[in-house]
Amino acid sequence: MSLIAFPLASRPTVLPRSEVVQIRTPVSTPADTGMARKAATPAREEANVPSPVSTEELTRQRRQAAKALAHKQVKALMERMRMLKQYASEDPKVMARQLAQIVKELKIALKAYADAGGSPGAAGGAAAGEGRTTAANDGNASPPTDPDGKRLYREMKDEIDGEAIGDMTFVKEVREFGKSIRELLTKAKIQTALKGPDEETREAFKDTEEGLKAVDEALDSLDRGIRASSPEAGMFVALYA
């Protein structure tokens, strides 16, 4: 019987202790993990950081908030007068008392709007407005090539300070409101002309008239201030508002 020779298994080589390579899994510290995460997502980190707001921008936001509140109060007074006209137009005594109160509150709202401060005119806006005014006076404005005035409208709106336009629109709106109050006041006076108003109604008439004069003065002051900061805003509102 023949013998089959099997190769002897080689004995494993044992390395000296000094040559044993030890493989260790690196351990991440919390600081390392945070730094890696920040490095991996710089855009997200930066996106969550709010941009600093300038003092000028904060002032503008406060000013606009105060004006918006005053404008809201004026709108509420307009609604009250609409209801008064609808339900008490034939009662001059009620009309007189309510008109006096409306004018009193209108003066307060108008003062709050004025106290908020005027808008700074757009840089270079005055010069641009003067140029457009001169062109219009010379007959070189839009009518021949732009009968609807759309091009002039766009040019003016792009260069005029938006806040100044809002201020001028507010002034125009309150002036129209004052005219409506005077119409109702005149009607109430006519209704009491034959019998003569009683003392309370007479005082209410007087308070309304004096209040409306104060409103006109406040509006004139606002108008001058707006036109001084943005002369073209008045022209824009007169044409398009």
Query: What residues contact 224, with CB distance under 8 A and at least 6 apart?
Result: none
Distance (Å, whole) CA 167 – CA 221: 12
Single-letter code of the amino acid located at 236: F
Classify domain 58-122+160-240 by CATH number. Answer: 1.20.120
Distance (Å, whole) CA 186 – CA 144: 45
Domain residue extents for the chain: 58-122+160-240
pTM over 0.85: no
Q: Residue 235's closest CA among 124, 134, 139?
A: 134
What are the angstrom distances between the C-alpha of 116 and each of 65, 109, 190, 222? 9, 11, 39, 11
pLDDT digits (tens, 9 = 90+) for 33-91: 555 555 555 555 555 666 677 898 898 899 999 999 999 999 999 999 999 999 888 89
Question: Which position has the higher pLDDT, 104 or 50?
Answer: 104
Tokens linked to 6: 């099997």
Distance (Å, whole) CA 232 – CA 128: 8
Is a pLDDT exceeding 90 seen at residue 173?
A: yes
Q: What is the mean pLDDT of the chain?
A: 76
